[in-house]
Structure 1
Amino acid sequence: MEQTPKYLPSIHTIAVIGGGSWATALIKIFTENGNTRINWWLRNADDVAYIKRYRSNPRYLTSVKLNPELVRPFEDIKAAVKEADAILLAVPAAFITSALSTLSAEDFEGKYVISSIKGMIPTHNTLVTEYIEEHFQVPHKMVAVIGGPCHAEEVAMEKQAYLSLASSSSRYATALAEMMHCRYINTTVIKDLYGVEYCAVMKNIIAIACGIAHGLGYGDNYQAVLVSNSMQEIKRLLKEVYKVKRDLTASAYLGDLLVTTYSQFSRNRTFGNMIGRGYTVKAAQMEMEMVAEGYYAVKSIHQIHTQYEDLNMPITTAVYNILYNKVSPSEEFLWLKEQLQ
């Protein structure tokens, strides 16, 4: 990590919003230091009761044991955030507005916000942090993003992983990096908040494309070309929507893309694989029982794409056509393979 700035923000209690595998993994990481307290809000009252009794998530990463002295589950979201110094968002982007619907700007006042969401607000076509800043009047310097490359399942197994903490405030990012650094987690500080978010959104779309390719029977050679072309597509998008100096080969960008497009734990790749094998979108979603962020993200990115006449995004276009225009995956990929270099 870079040299620690002076006067780091003081964060003792974090309100975690969301009850999935990534929320569970992040709670495990934050409580490794033995100092950070977690107020954990879950939508399902039965899950709250189960966690209070058995100290584990009944639905996801059930092997992770929670420290009862540090982790308190809540049914009331207002009560969870009231005494927290920071709010960590770990709900799929498509459901974040409903999850936060009972909260107001007053509930966010004076609190840091951490987004671990790898998607966009579908009805707004905006990044999660942009929505939080505008809707809840949170200052830009009090917002941070947790980037990869990292899978929740490997966190549960305590396999070596890397996280990137992005914020326009290096002090805030450094404070989070220090809180999350432990035996199996390495952390890096980066200032490119929106760039990390856009890349996280795009890598899920690319992972769906890679899954479709695998389901259709395309091999490793094709996937290598697909992924390398996707980096060019991401670069072209970022040049239009958020042009700043960045190194896209860094772990927060390329690393996160690679782990999502190749890993067995990638739900977006799994979703795409099912589509390539002939599942309908609805059938794939029902069988997975988990949200593939890329399904919602590709619609938002496609709509952003149409605003720029000269922006070439063939992979995004192909995934959008398959998922939303119901074009045959095999036919669309015949077109796509001619667009790749």
Structure 2
Amino acid sequence: MNEFSRIAIIGGGSWATAIAKILRENEVELNWYMRNVDTSSQFKKLGHNPRYLTDVDFDIDKIRFYNDINQIVEDSDLIIFAIPSAFLKNALSKLTVKLNDKFIVSAIKGIVPDENMIIGDFFHNIYQVPTDNIGVISGPCHAEEVAMERLSYLTISCQDADKANFLAEKLECPYIMTTTSDDIYGTEYAAVLKNVFAIAAGICHGLRYGDNFQSVLISNAIQEIKRFVDTVHPIDRDIKSSAYLGDLLVTCYSQFSRNRTFGTMIGKGYSVKTAQLEMHMIAEGYYAVKCIKEINEKYKVHMPITTAVYNILYDRISPAIEITLLTEELR
């Protein structure tokens, strides 16, 4: 796998920074794209990301920073995208270099708006990247715990087992355990949906529902994930494994979950706009729930939690009323 010796990260947020930290544990020399020139300039001076995970120090001599998307694609073989899905098209808007001979890895837990495509489908359909050249990094794993070097687990999905194993090896270190999968569709959709359900969990927390109800909510959420992914991409998968159930649990319960935090604010009476402004971070589930609802118009999967979150965020139905109605559907 020497053809993937040049590894790049696209994005300057907390998850991109966490992935960079993991790769540097294995002495991987990185190409790193940040859209904001000032951020990368400060990074080089300070030796750490000036905005996210600021306690994580880097050997700047082992990182090549880029602000030109075409140059970093030209100079890289394996490219990890770790930016909010809502900004992906804009990040690629000036791209003229072909991607179809690169190993493209999604660390984005969202859906591309308007196209309503998961990231793998977006790169396959729009940029003609072969399916075997598409990988997915999924959790359960929060960037903040990576920064603290707390034991975490990652699932690396790719339909080419050699590529999955190569990336898994590069990401495994004393505090990161990895496993591989060929389910690029299921792991991506599950990663999208868990953010929606984390918003639901946060809304319920904000409304002062307790742990007893949260357990019912999450047990119904994993069933909702299973119904959806089995309909959209029906293969044999264990929905109880960490890439699905584990990622759902940590996102719904963790103090580091931005989607749960966003939902809690909504449950407490914040407007969507106010909650977004106060967070200073993107809650992917806000964009994802609209995309999933539109995708599901074709499949017609029974998704009461997704529908409730959509009604609250987009139709501005009272959270208290909508969740009361939801409680009648859950068992």
The TM-score range, normalised by the shorter chain, is: over 0.9
Paired residues of 2:168 and 2:179 also in contact (CA < 8 A):
yes
- Out of 140, 147, 163, the residue aligned to residue 154 of structure 2 is 163
Find 1:227's aligned residue among 203, 218, 228. Answer: 218
Q: What does residue 256 of structure 2 align with?
A: 265
* 1:103 Cα offset (Å): 1.1
The CA deviation string for residues 265-318 of structure 1, in whole angstroms up to 9 with x for no partner, is: 000000000000000000000000000000000001111222234x21100000
- TM score, norm. by length of structure 2: 0.98
- Which one is further off, 175-184 or 74-83? 74-83
Query: Contact 1:94 / 1:121 at 8 angstroms: preserved in 2?
Result: yes
Instruction: State how far apart, in whole Å, the 1-side matches of 2:104 and 2:2 are.
Output: 12
Structure 1: which amino acid aligns with 2:178?
A: T
CA distance in 2, matches of 1:323, 1:66: 39
TM-score normalized by the length of structure 1 = 0.95
1:11 aligns with 2:11: no
Q: Which amino acid aligns with 1:233?
A: E
Q: Which residue of 1 aligns with 2:41?
A: 49
Shifted more, 66-75 versus 122-131: the winner is 66-75
- Paired position in structure 1 for 2:61: 69
Q: Does structure 1 retain, via aligned residues, the 8 Å contact 2:202–2:264?
A: yes
Name which of 201, 204, 207 aligns with 2:195: 204
What's 2:321 paired with? 331
Structure 2: runs of 5 or more not aligned: none
Displacement, 1:69?
2.5
**What amino acid is aligned across from residue 327 of structure 1 in structure 2?**
I
C-alpha displacement at 1:107, in angstroms?
3.1
Instruction: Check conservation: 2:107, 2:138, Cα contact below 8 A.
Output: yes
Alignment of 1:1-341 (within 5 A): 8=1, 10-34=3-27, 36-104=28-96, 106-309=97-300, 311-341=301-331
Q: How many correspondences in the alignment? A: 331
The runs of 4+ residues in structure 1 deviating greater than 4 Å are none
> Percent same amino acid at aligned positions?
52
Are the counterparts in 1 of residues 232 and 299 from structure 2 also a CA contact under 8 Å? Answer: no
Q: Which runs of 5+ in 1 are unaligned?
A: 1-7
Q: Distance in 2 between matches of 1:239 and 1:139?
A: 23
Report the Cα distance in structure 2 between the residues aligned to 1:183 and 1:333, rounded to whole angstroms. Answer: 42
In structure 2, distance between residues paired with 1:125 and 1:148: 22
By how many angstroms is 1:83 displaced? 1.1
Contact 2:81 2:106 in 1 (8 A): yes
Secondary structure of the residue aligned to 2:16 is helix
Q: CA RMSD in A?
A: 1.0
